[in-house]
Amino acid sequence: MSEITTMATTQDADTPGAAGRPIPGFGFDPPAAPVPGLVITDLETLHGRVSDGSLERVHRVGFHAITLITEGSGEHTVDFVTHPCRPGTLLWVRPGQVQRFGRAGSMNGTHLLFTPAFPPHFGGVDRLVGEWYGPVCRQLGTGEDYTTLSTLLDRMRAEFSRPGGEVSREILQLLLAAVLLNIDRLPGQGGRRDPHTGGEIYTRFRTELERSYAATRRAEDYARRIGCSVRTLTRACQAVTGQPVKQVIDARVALEAQRLLAHTGEPVATIARRLGFSEPTNFGKFFTHHTGTNPGDFRRNQQSPP
């Protein structure tokens, strides 16, 4: 069985919008996977193959990673939120997000990794794969939802492990589609609104935002690029997030600023330029307004020993 981890390279992840990509990253580079674009393994094997501690340090991923915890307990941190994990915890980390694994050996579970190009091109699946902003953590417990996803992942692993080159890419694609669509219909958490209500306009906006947040923060620019009016774009954003479009744009810029301040040693002025600010003072005012603290204090708090 060629159960190889996917995190074989420490090159910066090839993710859109991450200007300069100074945060260490993992690209999808399995040395001997039976099908290109997908690997399914478990956390114990993953930590055994990447034994240099790099998984427990902050890194950006360039692929999708879905984990269903089956044993033990621990934590997993994604973009400044630490999620408690136990049997029944479902994690979905998307390309471009910044994560840190918990201590090796504290928990185990099925670990599925795939590139955005691997899933089949169904309408619902395309939408899910294109989203970078969905829920990271869900607590399923051990009920019907857990059983359904566990069964599908077990079936994927059995297909992935077939000997003699008999692995079917098509079967794996269809099983992955079933996994994603079942995750999509899980009950919402934390009051998150249904992304379907924003329709194609919101989906196209989020794609363009991820591509261009370092170049422009103007709602008018995004509306023009996706071919709609600012009013239409505002309605789509309100339907999904409850927030005006400018607030959604600024939140994305603020998130990347937090990532760069916390996880790199780049000067504040350099980060400001990366994110499209002509002057560090303007960046400082923006950051303070959106996070409640100035860049220097935020960096010191994030990088100080626990």
> Given 163, 184, 205, which residue is the final one in a domain?
184
Q: Which contacts (CB < 8 Å, 24+ apart) does range 171-176 have? A: 172/35, 172/38, 173/118, 173/119, 173/120, 174/120, 176/38, 176/112, 176/114, 176/118, 176/119, 176/120
The whole model's pTM is what? 0.77
Q: Do residues 177 and 202 share a domain?
A: no
Strands (E), the chain: 25-26, 38-42, 59-61, 64-72, 74-78, 81-85, 89-93, 98-101, 107-114, 137-139
pLDDT at 110 over 50: yes
Q: Do residues 171 and 32 share a domain?
A: yes
* Burial (CB count <10 Å: 0-12, 13-18, 19+), residue 44: middle
Q: Rounded distance, CA 53 to CA 249, Å?
A: 35
Q: Rounded distance, CA 75 to CA 86, Å?
A: 9
Q: Which contacts (CB < 8 Å, 24+ apart) does range 6-9 have? A: 6/30, 6/33, 6/39, 6/63, 6/113, 7/46, 7/50, 7/54, 7/55
By residue range, what is the domain housing residue 274?
Answer: 195-303
Q: Average pLDDT, whole number, for the chain?
A: 85
User: Which CATH number covers residue 124?
Assistant: 2.60.120.10
Q: Do residues 219 and 156 share a domain?
A: no
- Domain count of the chain? 2
Q: Is residue 257 part of a domain?
A: yes
> Given 184, 215, 242, which residue is the final one in a domain?
184
Q: Do residues 237 and 96 share a domain?
A: no
Q: Do residues 291 and 237 share a domain?
A: yes
What secondary structure does DSSP assign to 99-116, as a single string?
EEE--TTSEEEEEEEE-T
pLDDT at 141: 86
* Residue from 75, 102, 100 nearest 86 by CA: 75
pLDDT band at 301 (very low <50, low <70, confident <90, very high): confident
Q: Do residues 48 and 108 share a domain?
A: yes
Q: Do residues 248 and 138 share a domain?
A: no
Q: Are 121 and 180 in contact (CB under 8 A)?
A: no
Q: Do residues 175 and 90 share a domain?
A: yes
Please state, for a pLDDT cut of 70, what percent of the chain lies above it. 87
Specify which residues 82 forms β-bridges with: 77
What secondary structure does DSSP assign to 253-298, as a single string?
HHHHHHHHHHH----HHHHHHHTT-SSHHHHHHHHHHHHSS-HHHH
pLDDT at 191: 40
Q: Are 176 and 119 in contact (CB under 8 A)?
A: yes
30-44, 87-101, 225-239: the lowest-pLDDT one: 30-44
User: Which CATH number covers residue 266?
Assistant: 1.10.10.60
Angle, in degrees to the nearest 10, between helices 245-263 and 219-226:
110
Count CA atoms within 13 Å of residue 48 on its CB side: 8
Q: Do residues 62 and 164 share a domain?
A: yes
Q: Is residue 214 part of a domain?
A: yes
Q: Do residues 177 and 37 share a domain?
A: yes
pLDDT at 68 over 90: yes
Dig out the tokens for 39 from the structure.
Answer: 């690997």
Q: Is residue 6 part of a domain?
A: no
* Burial (CB count <10 Å: 0-12, 13-18, 19+), residue 85: buried
Q: Is residue 247 part of a domain?
A: yes
Q: Is residue 20 part of a domain?
A: no
Q: Do residues 48 and 144 share a domain?
A: yes
Q: Is residue 1 part of a domain?
A: no
pLDDT at 198: 54
33-42, 146-155, 245-254, 269-278: the lowest-pLDDT one: 33-42
Give CA separation, 161 vs 2, 65, 127, 175, 300, in Å. 7, 19, 28, 14, 46
> Given 127, 152, 184, which residue is the final one in a domain?
184
Specify which residues 177 forms β-bridges with: none
Q: Is residue 2 part of a domain?
A: no
Neighbours of 159 (CB within 10 A): 19
57-66, 98-107, 127-136: the lowest-pLDDT one: 127-136
Q: Is residue 67 part of a domain?
A: yes
Q: Do residues 294 and 209 share a domain?
A: yes
Q: Rounded distance, CA 277 to CA 283, Å?
A: 6
45-59, 103-117, 160-174, 226-240: the lowest-pLDDT one: 45-59
